[in-house]
A = this chain, B = another copy of it.
Amino acid sequence: MAETTETTAPEVTLDEIVALCKRRGFIFPSSEIYGGIGSTYDYGHYGVLLRNNVKNEWWRAMIGERDDIVALDSAILQHPRVWEASGHLEGFTDPMVDCRTCGLRFRADKLEDAQCGRKPSKHPGEFSECDLTEAREFNLMFETHVGPVKDTGSITYLRPETAQGIFVNFKNVLQFARKKPPFGIAQIGKSFRNEITTGNFVFRTREFEQMEMEYFVPPDEAPKWHEYWMDERMRWYTELGIRPDKVTLRAHGAEELSHYSTATSDIEYLFPMGWSELEGIANRGDFDLTQHARMSDEKLEYFDQDKGEAYIPYVIEPAAGVDRAMLAFMVDAYDTEEVEGRKRTLLRLHPRLAPVKAAVLPLVSKDGMPERAREIYADVRAHVPAEYDEGGSIGKRYRRQDEIGTPWGITVDGETMEDGTVTLRDRDSLEQERVPAEGPGERLAAKLAKPWRTPKLG
């Protein structure tokens, strides 16, 4: 067993995360060979696997384990009236000013960092020699045109949130899914916001993926379900390994609330740049269904047969971001320590989130070890996502797996050839135990299996 001499465990910086993501191929700047395109990222191999695991765990918690939520996948291109009804066309804006000297455009509420492009002042935010226009509202939705004619009639928008695709399908889902409140509609998909201020790596990007669930409830039960979903979502993060002291619930003050919300709480995580929103859990009331009913002339209500009356359900919305959740899981899992005089960096990811579950490694590339390791690898990968690696020193190969968060290493060594056992190395404790070389795949799959959980309702 390796000896851990010192745990340095510094709080990680965003730069360290960015460096690891690049070094191990989790995340690259998009269109990098052309100099990139502002705040847009491409996910490499391990990044995709990690993202998929995050999405799968959310999906399992929303759809797999529950009978009261159905799935939806609505289009990114929707009818422009959707955004009129939702309030995005009018209200989803930032105030902008133009500099008459240099032509650049700045956020009116962030002028303290702005500089004229032609006559920069020593002090950002000073525009003494320049002339700024009055602030105008700039809509954050990306605009495009459908069909061959570019006129006002063909304008449409890339959706700025997945939620509205759920509301406009409320009637369809009621008809076919035979559900009654409380019931939910869950969706994972990309959204787009033409943000003026992006940054903090994948925390705020113009193209991002959401995991949103709209839970329709009788109006008088809304506060109870709001509480319920705050608990459920907090539990989801901590069960997947987020340290409880790094995550918190913060209720919005009255002045912070969105136009559609009667109450919102954010799940915040202690990112390297400070406490920041990981997920919003809002009580949207009947705002959205009422708006769409008015705009479309459709009845978007539920008829309660027991009470003999129709009502518009209230909506509780846990809205999470895939990219943000992935970043939080990586930040939380990042650690460095000194082992036998050498520093190692590792991601202590929950095994269900880890991109690769097991690495199969021959100690050296001779004496029949690679051949035996390949046999064992064939067994392991039939059960769990695995890698085989025979290049370089064993220490270097372990370090590589530590950095991508692989929880288990299986090493074939001299003893394997004699007694039919392999070393099973634990990423976190560095403990190494001898286990039979036969059937490790099935044993690892059993370690990964999540005990079935039936969510308590009400």
Chain A positions within 8 Å of B, measured between CB atoms, are: 23-25, 28, 30-38, 40-45, 47-49, 51, 64, 67, 70-79, 81-82, 96, 105, 138, 142-149, 156, 158, 165, 168-169, 171-173, 175-178, 190, 192, 194, 196, 206-207, 292, 295-296, 298, 300, 378, 382, 385, 388, 391, 452, 454
- Do A168 and B70 form a contact, CB below 8 Å, given A37-B79, A143-B144, A149-B105? no
| Complex A-B: 23 CB contacts under 8 Å | A23-B176, A25-B172, A25-B177, A28-B169, A30-B74, A30-B78, A31-B78, A32-B169, A33-B296, A34-B82, A34-B295, A37-B75, A37-B79, A43-B72, A43-B74, A44-B176, A48-B73, A49-B71, A77-B207, A96-B148, A143-B145, A146-B194, A382-B452
Write the nearest CB–CB distance from A29 to chain B, whole angstroms: 9
Contacts A40-B75, A45-B176, A67-B388 known; 6 new A-B pairs at CB < 8 A: A36-B79, A37-B75, A40-B78, A42-B72, A42-B75, A44-B72
Of the candidates B33, B40, B168, the one whose C-beta lies within 8 Å of that of A77 is: B40
Copies per complex of this chain? 2
Assembly CA distance A45 to B72 (angstroms): 5
- By a CB distance below 8 angstroms, the chain B residues around A45 are 70-72, 173, 176-177
- Do A37 and B78 form a contact, CB below 8 Å, given A144-B144, A194-B147? yes
Does the CB pair A25–B96 fall under 8 Å?
Answer: no
- By a CB distance below 8 angstroms, the chain B residues around A177 are 25, 44-45
Of the candidates B28, B31, B76, B296, the one whose C-beta lies within 8 Å of that of A34 is: B296
Assembly CA distance A143 to B148 (angstroms): 12
- Do A41 and B75 form a contact, CB below 8 Å, given A143-B144, A158-B144? yes
Does the CB pair B171–A81 fall under 8 Å?
Answer: no
- By a CB distance below 8 angstroms, the chain B residues around A147 are 38, 194, 196
Write the nearest CB–CB distance from A410 to chain B, whole angstroms: 16
Does the CB pair B146–A37 fall under 8 Å?
Answer: yes
Does the CB pair B42–A71 fall under 8 Å?
Answer: no
Assembly CA distance A30 to B24 (angstroms): 40
Does the CB pair A292–B33 fall under 8 Å?
Answer: yes
Write the nearest CB–CB distance from A407 to chain B, whole angstroms: 18
Write the nearest CB–CB distance from A331 to chain B, whole angstroms: 20
- By a CB distance below 8 angstroms, the chain B residues around A207 are 75-77
- By a CB distance below 8 angstroms, the chain B residues around A382 are 452
Write the nearest CB–CB distance from A156 to chain B, whole angstroms: 7
- By a CB distance below 8 angstroms, the chain B residues around A48 are 71-73
Question: Which of A34, A37, A146, A172 gathers the greatest number of chain B CB atoms within 10 Å?
Answer: A34
Does the CB pair B32–A172 fall under 8 Å?
Answer: yes
Write the nearest CB–CB distance from A83 to chain B, whole angstroms: 10
Of the candidates B169, B194, B295, the one whose C-beta lies within 8 Å of that of A42 is: B169
Does the CB pair B72–A38 fall under 8 Å?
Answer: no
- By a CB distance below 8 angstroms, the chain B residues around A148 are 96, 105, 138, 194, 196
- By a CB distance below 8 angstroms, the chain B residues around A298 are 33
- By a CB distance below 8 angstroms, the chain B residues around A196 are 147-148
Write the nearest CB–CB distance from A188 to chain B, whole angstroms: 9
- By a CB distance below 8 angstroms, the chain B residues around A72 are 42-45, 48
Does the CB pair B105–A34 fall under 8 Å?
Answer: no
Write the nearest CB–CB distance from A3 to chain B, whole angstroms: 30
Assembly CA distance A218 to B126 (angstroms): 59
- Do A173 and B25 form a contact, CB below 8 Å, given A31-B82, A146-B194? yes
- Do A169 and B44 form a contact, CB below 8 Å, given A149-B105, A196-B148? yes
Write the nearest CB–CB distance from A353 to chain B, whole angstroms: 15
Assembly CA distance A382 to B172 (angstroms): 28
- By a CB distance below 8 angstroms, the chain B residues around A105 are 148-149
